[in-house]
Chains A and B, each alone.
Chain A
Amino acid sequence: AQSVTQPDIHITVSEGASLELRCNYSYGATPYLFWYVQSPGQGLQLLLKYFSGDTLVQGIKGFEAEFKRSQSSFNLRKPSVHWSDAAEYFCAVSPSGGSYIPTFGRGTSLIVHP
């Protein structure tokens, strides 16, 4: 069974600083990987996804993520954080076939200081 670990429950950064949110997954084969963002009381919005190919994936809102098979990681990065990026961020993994049912991590809450 697949699983996702987001080791940081909260991350605090200053506006304009760089950001890296960690995600480690467990899955027997090459998975599909996702990052979602959730604002309070809202659903989840897809930031980016990795299926295959280039291990550095570009997403919306200036986010990127890098798939590292050797480390079973898919960390999310942004070079300069804006106050509007404050939200909950979820990493997810799904099988690369069949039902494609994604499994989510518990999330990382991003706090942005002015």
Chain B
Amino acid sequence: DTGVSQDPRHKITKRGQNVTFRCDPISEHNRLYWYRQTLGQGPEFLTYFQNEAQLEKSRLLSDRFSAERPKGSFSTLEIQRTEQGDSAMYLCASSRDHSPGYTFGSGTRLTVV
């Protein structure tokens, strides 16, 4: 069990640029979740995959956001035309079926300048 890995740990980008984050879940976990956390707040749900299928998306996930999990293993989260309001910590978590007890990665801290 190597844990959930997220890359990069930090990303600074200029407003209007596109960014992509990667999450590698625990290998036997088929469920994968993306969350966003702003300063002083709890994590807010963005989207959820079961294997390669994206089953739920939050209203927070605007048209500029897209997530994929092409082979049911790693996942990517892309933000197009970044805005200052996108500055946050983006967290990924994974779990097994029928056994919630989500393991979180260390997150990707995005700063939009």
Interface residues of A (CB under 8 A from B): 4, 32, 34, 36, 41-46, 49, 90, 92, 94, 99-107
User: How many B residues touch the partner, as a band?
Assistant: 20 to 34
Q: Among residues 35 to 86 in chain B, which have CB atoms less than 8 Å away from a CB atom of chain A? A: 35, 40-45, 48, 50, 55-56
Q: Is B104 an interface residue (CB 8 A)?
A: yes
Interface residues of B (CB under 8 A from A): 4, 6, 31, 33, 35, 40-45, 48, 50, 55-56, 91, 93, 95, 100-107, 109
Q: Are B109 and A44 in contact (CB under 8 A)?
A: no
CB-based contact B43/A44 at 8 Å: yes
Q: CA–CA, A99 to B104, complex, Å?
A: 17
Task: Report whether B42 and A99 are in contact in the complex, using a CB–CB cutoff of 8 Å.
Answer: no
For B44, what are the chain A residues with a Cβ–Cβ distance below 8 Å?
104
Complex contacts, A104 vs chain B, CB 8 Å: 35, 42-44
Contact with A46, one of B6, B56, B101 (Cβ below 8 angstroms): B101
Q: How many A-B residue pairs lie within 8 Å, measured between CB atoms?
A: 56
Q: Which chain A residue shows the least CB distance to B47?
A: A101
Assuming the A-B contacts A100-B100, A102-B100, are A90 and B42 also in contact, with contact meaning beta carbons closer than 8 angstroms in the complex? yes
29 A-B contacts (beta carbon < 8 Å) = A32-B100, A34-B101, A36-B104, A41-B106, A41-B109, A43-B6, A43-B105, A43-B106, A43-B107, A45-B104, A46-B101, A49-B101, A90-B42, A94-B100, A99-B55, A100-B31, A100-B95, A100-B100, A101-B45, A101-B48, A102-B45, A103-B45, A104-B35, A104-B44, A105-B42, A106-B41, A106-B42, A107-B40, A107-B42
Residues of A within 8 A of B107 (CB): 42-43
